[in-house]
Amino acid sequence: MFSLHVYQERRQRLKALMPEKSLAIVAAAAEVIRNRDAEYPFRQSSDFWYLTGFTEPDAVLVIGPGQPDRLFVRPKHPEQEVWTGRRMGPDHVKHRLGIDQGYPLEALDTELKTLLAEIAWVEYPFSCQKSTAIVDQAIKAKGLRSRRSDLLSHRADLSRLLSQARLIKSRQEIDIMKEAGRISAQGHIAAMQACEPGMTEDQLASVVEHQFRMDGSPSIAYQTIVGGGDNACILHYIDRTDRLRSGDLVLIDAGCEVLGYAGDITRTFPVNGSFTNAQAELYDLVLSAQSEAIAQMVVGKSIKLFHETAIRRLTEGLIELNIIEGPLELALEHKRYLPYYMHGTGHFLGLDVHDVGAYEHEGQPVELAEGMVITCEPGLYISQSSDAPARYRGIGIRIEDDVFITGRGPELLTAKVPKERAEIEALMRG
């Protein structure tokens, strides 16, 4: 957790972006039932976490210009806490979270009625159903019905302002993301060292996730993808039920979470420790595409440029390998690469693995700015059912790193895990 001062500054910056007589309402995540009375592990809403550092469910933050910050939380409940864990309670909000006023959650309706009577704008993340329900319930409350249509017309999406704030990472955030990158890298290294034919995809995933936990991460950042052979051509393959076969490649897309911040790495390597010639040809092509793309991830350049660079290099290579027809410019114009490369080359990374942030502004691609963190993840996916030459079928490759955009050039937060073929084979030989 950051110091209280960091969260206070974040709330102040957000309020500075809001119009006068406005109110921002941000709800915490709710617990989610897995089945019957068993719950999924709780994960806080990223926007709420960013503004408060509070890790309990069922809470609501209410802030606005010229207003004290208010946090509504579950009250203390000694009997319930025996079963489900300790609660902070409203009396401890100020000194433990640095938030001006703490209230029991039950007081939310009453307090909102009073606050909304003087408010012209209400802002909350439109994606948050709880925030929406809270506002609508308050608007319907006695004394506000006459203003309902006017207030509804002055609701605004807080997500845009929060996205602006979260997009550029502070030095403290980068330090945490470096740790997430380091631990994520160790998980991939452990998988390369442990991999052998006959293991199931799920067993290899467990090696990765075990290493995350042993290295200090409490959670995965997203469902670990482990796909051997043709399964690697399924972008979000999470079944993990097949056995790994000698002669196949295995693709692992996995990252851990540290203090809410995600790591996101993909590596592809041979199950038996040695690349075949066909695998090597495709792998080197993807690696060169990533290298050329990362070189374009520079402050002031269009965010589209690194994607376009990767596409051009992959298309050149596919023509050279007789997988698609040239010439190059015609192949690019007709997007002949699409059957083998169908996704973007990167995304913002932060508290969410696909983090907030606009890729366009007024119809134009945004420019890369210092403090952004973006993945770079070109790939090639040549399934058994494709029209490619037979020697390339059943091969899926993706290479992904997390890139910190700095004034000195791109900095890889995930450089510790090998990606050169010789390095991978040496590591797997032990």
Query: What gap in Å lies between CA 194 and CA 205, rounded to an integer?
Result: 11
Query: What's the first-to-final CA gap in the chain, in angstroms?
Result: 38
Please tell me which residue in 381, 392, 401, 402 is annotated as part of the active site: 381
Summarize the confidence of residues 218-226 as an average pLDDT. Answer: 98
For residue 348, what is the DSSP state?
B
pLDDT at 426 over 50: yes
- Chain segment 5-63, per-residue pLDDT in tens: 999 999 999 999 888 888 888 999 989 999 998 999 999 999 999 999 999 999 999 99
Query: What gap in Å lies between CA 168 and CA 190, rounded to an integer?
Result: 32
Summarize the confidence of residues 166-171 as an average pLDDT. Answer: 97
236 is catalytic: yes
- Chain segment 356-407, per-residue pLDDT in tens: 999 999 999 999 999 999 999 999 999 999 999 999 999 999 999 999 999 9
* CATH code reported for the domain at 168-429: 3.90.230.10
377 is catalytic: yes
20 is catalytic: no
253 is catalytic: yes
Contact 25, 123 (CB under 8 A): yes
316 is catalytic: no
Summarize the confidence of residues 129-139 as an average pLDDT. Answer: 60
Q: Which residues of the chain form CATH 3.90.230.10?
A: 168-429
- Chain segment 257-293, per-residue pLDDT in tens: 999 999 999 999 999 999 999 999 999 999 999 999 9
Amino acid symbol at 422 = A
209 is catalytic: no
Token reading at 332 = 């690019």
Please tell me which residue in 209, 264, 316, 402 is annotated as part of the active site: 264
Summarize the confidence of residues 141-157 as an average pLDDT. Answer: 49
Q: Which residues of the chain form CATH 3.40.350.10?
A: 4-166
Give the confidence band of 127 by pLDDT, cuts at 50, 70, 90: low
Please tell me which residue in 69, 179, 400, 402 is annotated as part of the active site: 400
Closest C-alpha to 59, from 11, 47, 220, 222: 47
Please tell me which residue in 188, 347, 392, 401 is annotated as part of the active site: 347
Please tell me which residue in 37, 79, 362, 387 is annotated as part of the active site: 37
pLDDT at 105 over 90: yes
Which residues, listed in sequence order, are joined to residue 34 by a DSSP beta bridge? none
92 is catalytic: no
- What pLDDT does residue 22 have? 86
- What pLDDT does residue 109 have? 85
Query: What gap in Å lies between CA 74 and CA 124, rounded to an integer?
Result: 20
Q: What b/e string do you get for 257-289 counting C-beta neighbours within 10 Å, with b at 16 or more?
A: bbbbbbbbbbbbbbbbbbbbebbebbbebbbbb
Summarize the confidence of residues 408-423 as an average pLDDT. Answer: 98
Contact 344, 314 (CB under 8 A): no
pLDDT at 329 over 50: yes
361 is catalytic: no
Token reading at 184 = 């994520």
pLDDT at 64 over 60: yes
CATH class of 4-166: alpha beta
What's this model's pTM, rounded to 2 decimal places? 0.94
Summarize the confidence of residues 156-183 as an average pLDDT. Answer: 93
Give the confidence band of 125 by pLDDT, cuts at 50, 70, 90: low
Summarize the confidence of residues 128-148 as an average pLDDT. Answer: 54
343 is catalytic: yes
- What pLDDT does residue 336 have? 98
Q: Please tell me the least confidently modeled range out of 9-23, 121-135, 353-367, 414-428.
A: 121-135
Please tell me which residue in 236, 361, 408, 429 is annotated as part of the active site: 236
3 state SS of 71? strand
Contacting residues for 44 by C-beta, under 8 A, at least 6 apart: 28, 29, 54, 55, 57, 260
